[in-house]
Structure 1
Amino acid sequence: MPLNEYGTFEDAYEYIWHFIEKVYSKKRLHSALDYMSPDQFELEVVLNTVA
């Protein structure tokens, strides 16, 4: 995976914020969610609510 080059600090901040909030946090397993990702947990809630 190549390293990213940023023109300014703001560019780097925006990219890193996007990665953490939109990519990493949605896939990371959370102990409070019984070691599921937030996406998995939300799907379980929807499936269990509809059924």
Structure 2
Amino acid sequence: MKQCKKFFSAKEFYNADEAYVVSNHTYTSSAKQLAASVGVQLIHHEELKKI
């Protein structure tokens, strides 16, 4: 999932505390694994209300 790498890079560049990838679909297990390894949160668009 190339987006996780981009979000991780942006998170580090801007010294942000968190980074999110938002989708209206589910995530693959490999995307979840990559996101977890680089500290990026994967969320469904309906979860935005909670943030």
Taking structure 2 as the reference length, the TM-score comes to 0.26
**Which has the higher relative contact order, 1 or 2, with Cα contacts under 8 A spaced 6 or more apart?**
2
Higher gyration radius (CA)? 1
Looking at secondary structure, tell me which structure has more helix per residue.
1
